[in-house]
Amino acid sequence: MLKGIVAGLAAGALWGLVFVAPGLVPGLSAIDLVAGRYAFYGLTSLVFMVAKRRPLPTLEQAGAALGLSVLGFSGYYLLLVLAVRHAGPEVPTLIIGTIPIWVMLLGKPAHLLWRKLLPGLLLTLAGVALMAELPDAAATAAAQAAHDYWLGIAYALAAMVSWTAFAVFNSIWLKKHPGLSTTDWTNWLGMGSGVAGVILWVTIGSEVNTLLARVDITQVAMVCIAIGVGSGWLATILWNRASRILSASLCGQLIVSETLFGLLFTFVIAMRLPSTTQVAAAVLFVLGISASIRAHR
């Protein structure tokens, strides 16, 4: 159980990078950023499979990997990038931060009593409530055009639904196929994501000459590699290991670490300290994780 918890928290830390990535490459379209991330995730998966001589998926496995890769990767991240571009990073981070609640509610094991989950749920809800009162969120809303801002909120809500569905269905799939290597499954998801990313870029992405003409092309490449290999390939290996070991409800609670690290990275890049309210919300999230771990023992 401890290995699963550590793997889930580490995956959340790596996923936290995706919230700050759009701000590191201003002017790069959402399509190009999503395509770049998943092209590198897919390429890493392909290289690993060839180097290790790993088997290709069956038709059923390939279909499941492609569908789940859209829900949890290419489709989800496209929605998230659009949300951050329209509404700023903090409010989408807050909305995505409610995913643990939905996954916990949908993935609760039948034998686990609701009263045992209640402390963790209430602590997480309290943290979300505090985050909702952030002055930065209000400032972001005031700075953006109303239509643009609410469009970003809609994208964030759609991203939340997409990843919640991925977390639940991915956990079910792994538990139904105990003989399947989590690394192989990660690579098959990566290849599905890579295909989706390339198709997205070829159909509606920027031209090669336009991308190469950017003065920050080196930084663009570095960001895409970091979120493709780190937040994509490595984080998914860790998450799949956690999903196989732990129940969906506990995994859902561990996703809070993505929100915590996303906010931490945002503060570090902006070179400012969190407010008292933000620190209090983070403490509540950590207490919520701890309560949920105790409930699942």
Ranges of each domain in the chain: 2-296
Residue 240 has pLDDT above 90, yes or no: yes
pLDDT tens figures, 92-127: 877 887 888 888 788 777 777 888 888 988 998 888
Burial of 286 (0-12, 13-18, 19+ CB in 10 A): middle
User: At residue 22, what are phi and psi to the nearest 5 degrees?
Assistant: -60, -35
Model pTM score:
0.84
DSSP string, 131-186: HHT-HHHHHHHHHS-HHHHHHHHHHHHHHHHHHHHHHHHHHHHHHH-TTS-HHHHH
Whole-number Cα distances in Å, 155 to 13, 77, 160: 22, 10, 9
Residue that is written with structure tokens 């031209």 in the block: 207
Residue that is written with structure tokens 């192989």 in the block: 184
Confidence band of 14 (pLDDT split at 50, 70, 90): very high
Stretch 253-282: mean pLDDT, rounded?
Answer: 87
pLDDT tens figures, 197-236: 999 899 999 999 999 999 999 999 999 999 999 999 999 9
